[in-house]
Structure 1
Amino acid sequence: MLITMKNATKWRHCTSVISIVVLLVSLFTIATKGLNWGLDFTGGIVTEVQLDSSVTSQQLDTVLDKALMQDVSVITAGEPGRWVLRYAIPEHGEAPQVDEVLQSLSSDIQVLNTSIVGPQVGQELAEQGGLALLIAVLCILGYLSYRFEWRLASGSVFALAHDVIFVLGFFAATQMEFNLTVLAAVLAILGYSLNDSIIIADRIREILISSPDKPIEQVNNEAIAATISRTLVTSGTTLMTVGALWWLGGGALAGFAIALFIGILTGTWSSISVGTALPELFGLKSKHYMPVLVTDEP
Structure 2
Amino acid sequence: MSMSKIYNFMGFRKAATALSGLLLVISIASLAINGLKFGLDFTGGSLVEIGYEQAPDLNQIRDQLKQVGYNDAVVQTFGTPTDILIRLGQDHDPKLGDKVLATLQEGQEQSLELRRNEFVGAQVGEELREQGGLGMLLALFMIMVYVALRFQIKFSVGAVAALVHDVLIVLGFFSVLQVDFDLTVLAAVLAVIGYSLNDTIVVADRIRENFRIMRKGSPTEIMNTSLSQTLGRTLVTSLTTILVLVALFVFGGEMIHGFATALLVGVLVGTYSSIYVAANVMLMMGICKEDLMPPEEKEETVDELP
Q: TM-score, normalised by structure 1?
A: 0.90
Counterpart Cα distance in 1 of 2:114 and 2:62 = 17
Distance 1:80 1:5, change over 3 A: closer
Preserved CA contact (<8 Å) 1:55 1:105: no
Residue aligned with 1:206, SS: helix
- Runs of 4+ displaced beyond 6 Å: 91-94
The residue type equivalent to 1:51 in the other structure is Y
The residue type equivalent to 2:36 in the other structure is L
Q: Which residue of 1 aligns with 2:102?
A: 100
Q: Which residue of 2 aligns with 1:41?
A: 42
Does 2:151 correspond to 1:148? yes
The number of residue pairs the alignment matches comes to 293
Preserved CA contact (<8 Å) 1:185 1:256: yes
Bigger Rg, structure 1 or 2: 2
Does 2:249 correspond to 1:246? yes
Does 2:217 correspond to 1:220? no
Does 2:22 correspond to 1:26? no
The residue type equivalent to 1:226 in the other structure is Q
CA-based RMSD: 2.3
Q: Which residue of 2 aligns with 1:264?
A: 267
Counterpart Cα distance in 2 of 1:154 and 1:245 = 33
Residue aligned with 1:231, SS: helix
Q: Which residue of 2 aligns with 1:77?
A: 78
Using the TM superposition, give the Cα deviation of residue 45 of structure 1 relative to its aligned residue in structure 2, in angstroms. Answer: 1.2
Deviates more, 1:277-286 or 1:11-20: 11-20
Using the TM superposition, give the Cα deviation of residue 6 of structure 1 relative to its aligned residue in structure 2, in angstroms. Answer: 7.8
Using the TM superposition, give the Cα deviation of residue 69 of structure 1 relative to its aligned residue in structure 2, in angstroms. Answer: 4.2
Residue aligned with 2:220, SS: helix
Does 2:142 correspond to 1:139? yes
Percentage identity across aligned positions?
38
Residue aligned with 1:131, SS: helix
Q: Deviations over 1:84-141 (max 9, x none)?
A: 1001233899646211222324241111222221112222222222222122112111
The residue type equivalent to 1:61 in the other structure is R
Using the TM superposition, give the Cα deviation of residue 291 of structure 1 relative to its aligned residue in structure 2, in angstroms. Answer: 4.0
1:120-199 matches, cutoff 5 A: 120-199=123-202
Using the TM superposition, give the Cα deviation of residue 53 of structure 1 relative to its aligned residue in structure 2, in angstroms. Answer: 3.9
Q: TM-score, normalised by structure 2?
A: 0.88
Distance 1:176 1:40, change over 3 A: same
Using the TM superposition, give the Cα deviation of residue 270 of structure 1 relative to its aligned residue in structure 2, in angstroms. Answer: 0.7
Counterpart Cα distance in 1 of 2:75 and 2:127 = 25
Counterpart Cα distance in 1 of 2:145 and 2:157 = 12
